Amino acid sequence: MTFIEKLTKIWEKNNSLVCVGLDPDIDKLPACLKEKDFPIFEFNKAIIDATADIVCSYKPQAAYYQGQNADVELKMTIDYINENYPEVPVILDVKRGDIGSTSEMYAREAFIRYNADAATLNPYMGTDTLKPFLDYADKGSVILCRTSNPSSCELQELIADDAEIYKHVAKLSNTKWNYNNNVMLVIGATFPGELKTVREICPEIPFLVPGVGAQGGDVEAVLKNGLDANGYGLVINSSRGIIYADSSENFAQGARNATIELNNLINSYR
Amino acid sequence: MTFIEKLTKIWEKNNSLVCVGLDPDIDKLPACLKEKDFPIFEFNKAIIDATADIVCSYKPQAAYYQGQNADVELKMTIDYINENYPEVPVILDVKRGDIGSTSEMYAREAFIRYNADAATLNPYMGTDTLKPFLDYADKGSVILCRTSNPSSCELQELIADDAEIYKHVAKLSNTKWNYNNNVMLVIGATFPGELKTVREICPEIPFLVPGVGAQGGDVEAVLKNGLDANGYGLVINSSRGIIYADSSENFAQGARNATIELNNLINSYR
């Protein structure tokens, strides 16, 4: 089964467009976990067990593991999802992009070492840097288009040949880069107008949408502008808003409640 | 001492603009190393010992370690350089770029976990994604400008407001992003005309120049177009051309010979 097929199945089965971002900061974990051998993994595991029936994917952010010397816990987390909830795809948020021979090593990191279903990619260096990922036909390549952060306008909104740079990325993603029909795009919830524009350019490509929750994106506008013709097409990520919803020992139930709340809000606009 | 000061000192001391890229592919290591406990580290260590007096920096490419489950050997490699050749700066090639809170974790990865002197960064997401790195005033932020790979033209050469995107990156790097005077730029040796253009925009910023050797860049054109007013300003990287110069048990001497050859060629045009 390809990544896109897996995503399509889970959207329907769980009736959810919610992706939980697994970005655990060791300094923010509940006190009850701090003495554990693998506190980050235990934190993720409890949240996964509490939410796997109401999400469409998990998105571990590699920086939190690689910055905290917790590569092992990233591996344990993805293995745990694959073993216990194989129907839920894992998007490894790595934002890689490098020359071909190097990119092959990064694809190996995401798809072989960590066995993720998809990985996020940075398009600044162009086709040959994306190709080693795109060539994994069953895996997803999730390409940065219009990112959710404030300074994203500096390059992404520059206009060349009558189109902003992010539109060039959208067009390439819908054509040249989608030869295996395995491309997704990252478009921030903080820019709903751009979501609409890119949906027009790419009617069938799923969007990974960060920026609801802590970053302030408008859920109604995201749904109105981003859904595909089938009423799906969106993977709406929340990280801090879900994983830190409750800082007590009941954090997993808190994460479940926050996920349900977000999912209900999303589904009320579908 | 800041990264730029360290670089300036070693350029003079070793009379070298050569950076050795430490991109070890386990399948390409000399047979004599394959039974070692840490073959990648042993390979790097021998090359470092053979070249530390004739280089201006080392550039380990993170993908080769993270793709081959060799994070420990990356750490051992950088620790070895810092302990034995503290005068030689280490540029960790990671090409990171992410929203602020995530970028802080990546900066921690490069500068705390691995204790590198500088890290490469992708500018596609803009200022707030670079700032967590730029804020480490003593460390170097090496920003992708005009990369050496064939497809780099797709976005980097698009023209907005009468300037190619890579020129916008160069201008931002010379002004807004250089508030701690710790910015370098990546410009491929395969585009010597662009090297000249960016040198005009950024007279004092050092350039990391990949693409000589295996990628075919022209050393004479690089020197002619890229040197700064002091006859320095370039960190010219070769990876495969040096580390695989000799595939026998004499690989370290082969790497030294290749480094001397490249350094002599470079210095003949200075």
Report yes or no: B69 at the A interface, CB cutoff 8 Å: yes
Q: What is the pLDDT of residue B8?
A: 98
Q: Is A95 a catalytic residue?
A: yes
Residue B214: pLDDT above 80? Answer: no
Can you tell me the distance from the alpha carbon of B88 to that of B52, in angstroms, rounded to the nearest whole number?
Answer: 7
Residue A102: pLDDT above 80? Answer: yes
Between chains, do B124 and A123 touch, taking CB under 8 Å as contact?
Answer: yes
Q: What is the pLDDT of residue B159?
A: 97
Residue B213: pLDDT above 90? Answer: no
Best A28, A98, A187 residue to mutate vs chain B (most B CBs within 10 Å): A98
**Strands, E assignment, chain A:** 18-22, 57-60, 91-96, 118-121, 140-146, 159-160, 163-164, 183-187, 207-209, 234-238
At B242, list the tokens. 């040096």
Report yes or no: A71 at the B interface, CB cutoff 8 Å: yes
∠ CA A176-B99-B234, rounded to 5°: 75
Burial environment of residue B196 by CB neighbours within 10 A (0 to 12, 13 to 18, 19 or more)? middle
> What residues does each domain of chain B span?
3-268
Task: Compute the mean pLDDT over every residue in chain B, rounded to the nearest whole number.
Answer: 97
> How high is the ipTM of this complex?
0.97
Q: Cβ contacts (< 8 Å) between A99 and chain B: which residues?
A: 147-149, 210, 215
Can you tell me the distance from the alpha carbon of A40 to that of A80, in angstroms, rounded to the nearest whole number?
Answer: 13
Taking only the tens place, the pLDDT of each residue in A233-261 is 999 999 999 999 999 999 999 999 999 99
Can you tell me the distance from the alpha carbon of B270 to that of B227, in angstroms, rounded to the nearest whole number?
Answer: 8
Indicate the helix (H) or strand (E) that contains B55.
none
Q: What confidence category does residue A44 fall into, taking pLDDT thresholds of 50, 70 and 90?
A: very high
Identify how many contiguous H helices and E strands chain A contains and give both numbers: 12, 10
Can you tell me the distance from the alpha carbon of B29 to that of B176, in angstroms, rounded to the nearest whole number?
Answer: 43
Fold of B3-268: TIM Barrel (3.20.20)
> Could you tell me which residues are beta bridge partners of residue B35?
none
Q: What is the pLDDT of residue B262?
A: 97
Residue A231: pLDDT above 90? Answer: yes
Q: What is the pLDDT of residue A208?
A: 98
Taking only the tens place, the pLDDT of each residue in A188-212 is 999 999 999 999 999 999 999 998 9
Residue B45: pLDDT above 90? Answer: yes
pLDDT: which is higher, B6 or B214: B6
Give the Å distances, CA to CA, from A252 to A66, A123, B94: 24, 36, 33
Can you tell me the distance from the alpha carbon of B95 to that of A19, in angstroms, rounded to the nearest whole number?
Answer: 26
Between chains, do B156 and A124 touch, taking CB under 8 Å as contact?
Answer: yes
Q: What is the pLDDT of residue B217?
A: 84
Can you tell me the distance from the alpha carbon of B245 to that of B247, in angstroms, rounded to the nearest whole number?
Answer: 7
Report yes or no: B123 at the A interface, CB cutoff 8 Å: yes
Beta-carbon contacts of residue A86 (< 8 Å; ≥ 6 apart): none
Report yes or no: B216 at the A interface, CB cutoff 8 Å: no
Q: Cβ contacts (< 8 Å) between B187 and chain A: which residues?
A: none
Between chains, do B105 and A66 touch, taking CB under 8 Å as contact?
Answer: yes
A119 three-class SS: strand
Taking only the tens place, the pLDDT of each residue in B104-147 is 999 999 999 999 999 999 999 999 999 999 999 999 999 999 99
Q: Choosing from B34, B36, B59, B95, which is the catalytic residue?
A: B95
In this prediction, what percent of chain B has a pLDDT beyond 90? 97
Phi, psi of A66 (to 5 degrees): -75, -25
Give the Å distances, CA to CA, from B213 to A34, A164, B192: 49, 35, 14
Q: Choosing from A9, A75, A95, A171, which is the catalytic residue?
A: A95
Residue B205: pLDDT above 90? Answer: yes
At B178, list the tokens. 């250089």
Q: What is the pLDDT of residue B179?
A: 98
Q: Cβ contacts (< 8 Å) between B98 and chain A: which residues?
A: 61, 63, 93, 95
Q: What confidence category does residue A215 fall into, taking pLDDT thresholds of 50, 70 and 90?
A: confident
Closest chain A residue to B158 measured between Cα atoms?
Answer: A160
Q: CA A189, A195, A198, A200 torsion: positive or negative?
A: positive
